[in-house]
Structure 1
Amino acid sequence: MDYKNPKFIIDSSQLTPGKVRWRSPSNIALIKYWGKYGQQLPRNPSISLTLSQAATDTTLSYSAKQSDKEIDLDFYFAGESRPDFSLRVEKYLKILLPIFPFLGQLHLRIDTNNSFPHSAGIASSASAMSAIALILCSMEKRFFDSLSDSETFYQKASYLARLGSGSACRSVYPHVAVWGEAGEIPRASNLYAIPYADQVHDIFETYHDDILIISKAEKSVSSGAGHNLMEGNLYADNRYLQARQRMDNLTAAMRAGDLETFGKITEAEALTLHALMMTSNPPYLLMEPNSIAAIRKVQAYRAETGHPLYFTLDAGPNLHLLYPDNIATEVKTFIRSELTPLCQDGIYIADRCGAGPEELEADLNPN
C-alpha cells in the first residue's frame, strides 16, 4: 500500500482559510500491542474496545503559509502553547509530506483538548493522533474531492493514524477494532486496523469500561520507550507467540459472548503487560499501591457476587473495569463505595463502548 501522491498540491493563492474539527476517542486494548518494528508495525495482533467519553477534541485551522518553514505549525493543548507536543506533531506531519504535500503549503494551527488526564495510562496518543489523521483525510476530501467512499476514508485514516501512534489506528472504528495480522481474521493487517464489531456478540456493543483514575501524574516511562525496551526483553519472542494464541481464544469468546473466558484472558493480558515492564532492562513499575488494592477488591467482589466484572490496565496505573450493561447498577454502587476512595481526588470516568469518532462543526471550537 502506497499513499504517496505528489499531485496533492493546492493553489495557495486562491485558498480560503478554513477549519476542520474531529472528536476521536481513546481505546482500551484487550490483547495488548507491546513491541513494534519498522514504521510503527506491531509484533503481534491486538484487539480493542473503542471508548465513548475518553476522547480528544481537535480543531485544525489552515491558511496560506507565509513562512519558509517546512511545516508551519502553532500547537495549543487546553488553550496553552505546548512546544513539547508541537514537536511531536510537527515530526508526524513531516512524515506525511509525501502523502499530503499540501501540508508544506499551509500555516496550521491545532487546538486540542482531552476529556481525561494526559499521559496517565489512558491512550491519549491514540485519540490525539487519530483525530489528526481524520482531519487530514477530511482536508484531502475537501481539497481534492476524493475519499468519498466511507470504507476507503476510514482505512486511510487508520493507516495515517498508525504512523503517529500505533494504537491510534484502532480508534477510528466503533465499538471493537482489530489491528495486526491474525491467522483467524483474514482481513487483518499490520498496516491499518479493521472494524470488528459485526463479528462479536451484541453484548459488547454496550459494554462498560469505567476507568479508575488511581493517579493523574504523567508516567515515568512513556509507552514509546516501553515499546523500545521490548527489543532487549528476554521474554519477547514467547510473549508474541502467547499474544497470538490469546487473540484466537479471545475473539472466539467474544463471538460466543463467553464473558468468563473474555474476562480471564483480558486480566491475564493486563498483568502480562506490566510483567513485561518489570522484566525490561532497565525494569520499571507503573502500577501504584492503590492499583493493586483495587485489583484485589475487584477479584473479591467477583468471587462474592458471581458478576462478570473484570479489569484491564493500559501502560499506567489506572484500572479499566469491564462489565456488561445488565449489571451496571450493582457494579456502579460497588465502584462508588469501595473503589473511588482509592482514586486520586475520588475521580473515575464512567465510560463504555462508543460509536467511534465524529466530525464536528469547526465553528464550535471549545478552545
Structure 2
Amino acid sequence: MEGPQSPQYRITLLSGDGIGPEITAVARLLLEAVGRRHGFGLSFDEQPIGGAAIEATGEPLPASTLDACKAADAVLLAAIGSPQYDTLPRDKRPETGLLGLRAGMELFANLRPVRIMPALIDASTLKREVIEGVDLLVVRELTGGVYFGTPKGRVEADGRTRAFNTMAYSDHEIDRIARVGFELAHQRRGRLCSVDKANVLDVSQLWRERVEAIHLASFSDVALSHMYVDNAAMQLVRDPRQFDVMLTSNLFGDILSDEAAMLSGSIGMLPSASLGEQGPGLFEPIHGSAPDIAGQDKANPMAMVLSAAMLLRIGLKQEAAAADLERAVERVLAAGYRTGDLMAPGCTLLGCMAMGDRLLAAVES
C-alpha cells in the first residue's frame, strides 16, 4: 500500500500519433498497478507531440511539451508521425519534433535491448538455431552525426537541384557515448563491438581512434572489436549471438537496431531508452505509429509496456516493479496470447486492450 512517505514520481506521457494513444493507455494502467503493488505513487502529465501537436498548436514540439518533459522524473513516448504530414516543410513535420525533443533534453545515448523470449522463438523469420539465446544491446549515439550535422539543405544551380547533409562528430561526442557502451558491456558479458565505416569515412576514422583511446584508458578489461557497418548488418542475421554490446553512430544505429528488432519476430516487441548526462530519460518503443491500424484495437502494446519497464528500472530505480512488467509479458506470451503481428497456429488472437487486460491480470496475480 502507498503510504505517507511513499516515493512520488512525475511522468510525462507523450502518446503522439497513430496507435500511440492505444498503447499509452495500456502502459499507464500497468504502471499504476505496479506502483500500487510496490508502494510508490505516479502522477501523469499528458502532453502533445508530433502530428497531434501540429493539429493543436501548429508546431510538432510545443515549448510547453519540452518544458514538461524536462521537469518530469521520466518521459514515456509512444509514437509520432503520419503520411498526412509528409508534405509539410521539414521544420514542421512530426519527426522534427522528435529530433528537437532529443536535442532539447540533451539525450545523447540510445539503448535498444534485443532479447529473444522463448515463447516467440518461432515468430522470427530466422531459424531457431540462429536466434536461440540472443541477448544483445545496441548503444546508439543520438544527438550527433548526419541527422544533426551542418551544413545541410537543398540548393538550386544551373537548372539542377542538389540536396546535402553533413555527417560530423567531435571527439567529445564520441568519447561520452563510448564510455556508456563500455560501462554497459562491463555490466553485461564484457564484450563491445564498435560499428563504423572507417575504411571510407573520415568521421568513422575519428570514431575508431577515440573508441580505442577510451578502451585503453579506462576499459581494458572489456573485449573490444571493430566491424564495418555493412558487415555488421550481415552478421546480425548470420550469427547474432556473437554480439553483446554494439556501439554505433546515429545513422548506423538507427538502421541496425531496426534490423535487430526482427530477430525477435516483431518490431512491436522492442523497447528503448534515451539518456543524457543528467535530467530525465525518455523511454519509447522503437516501432512507428502504424497509422494503417490506428484506432482499430489491433496494436501490440508489449514494446510500450517493456519501455515502461525500462522507465521503472533506469529512470526511477524501481527494479522490482520493472521485473513485474517483464514477467507479465513473458507469462502472457507463454500462455499463448498474441496480437496480430505475432499470431501463430494454436495461439489466441487478442486486440490491444484485451492484451492489456491479460497483462494487468498477470501483474496482479
TM-score when normalising by structure 2 = 0.25
TM-score (normalised: structure 1): 0.25
Higher helix share: 2
